[in-house]
Amino acid sequence: MSTSRQVDAAIARFDDVMGRIDRNPANAARRRETKRGLAAFAHRITNIGVALGALIVATIGFGLVVGPIGIGGLFAVAALMLFAILFFSLWGGEKPVVDYREDMPNKAVVQRLESLLVRRRGDLPAAAARSIDAIGAQLPLLESRLAETNILDPLAQDARRLMGKHLPELIERYERVPAQYRAERDAEGKSVDDRLVAGIDAAAHRARLARAAREATPSRSRAA
């Protein structure tokens, strides 16, 4: 089965499961965004707690080793604490992954996928995470091979579809399926997790082919 067919089969399976669970895809999207929002909030609170704890420990250590910090020192520590709270509260953290565009440079397409894989890896099953790592290991060299290649080059077009559309959509559709339904097996005996791993493995194989093709044709058309 070709890469695109394996990915399409996985996506169709995910949609079939979601169709029986929730007829309104927007509900799943809202749940997913809420989960990410809570995770981001927890991350900020953790950062604030770590920063304040470090300041308190440093203040106590200074007092024990050097001597009392005095009123001026207390004001300085309070100011640093306030700064830490404001910084981690207002700091946006990770920027959202930019939307894929047809005119996006090849290098930007690869970087976008790399950013997406890093952020999504922790939400995927262990087998899929290992496959993600295999793709991630190929991206730096693939990026260098495609950086100067014209976006209309057939090899570049195939790689762009894989990295900009097929793989991100595969992961996005998988995330919509609630965890309790991911082990459910279909008529072929495959679970949602199995479909995901097969789709990612197929994408990793296609990425290797794209990289090898670029290595074999170094004089191919370059970007203007």
Q: 185 with 117: CB under 8 angstroms?
A: no
Region of 70 (left: φ > 0; alpha: ψ -120 to 50; beta: rest) is left
Q: Identify the pLDDT of residue 190.
A: 82
Can you give the pLDDT at residue 95?
61
Residues in the chain, pLDDT under 70: 1-8, 13, 18-40, 91-97, 206-224
* DSSP state at residue 121: G
Cα–Cα distance measured from residue 214 to residue 145, given in angstroms and rounded to the nearest whole number: 6
Q: Are 162 and 106 in contact (CB under 8 A)?
A: no
Structure letter (DSSP) for residue 149: B
pLDDT confidence of residue 222: 43
Q: What pTM, to 2 d.p., does this model score?
A: 0.58
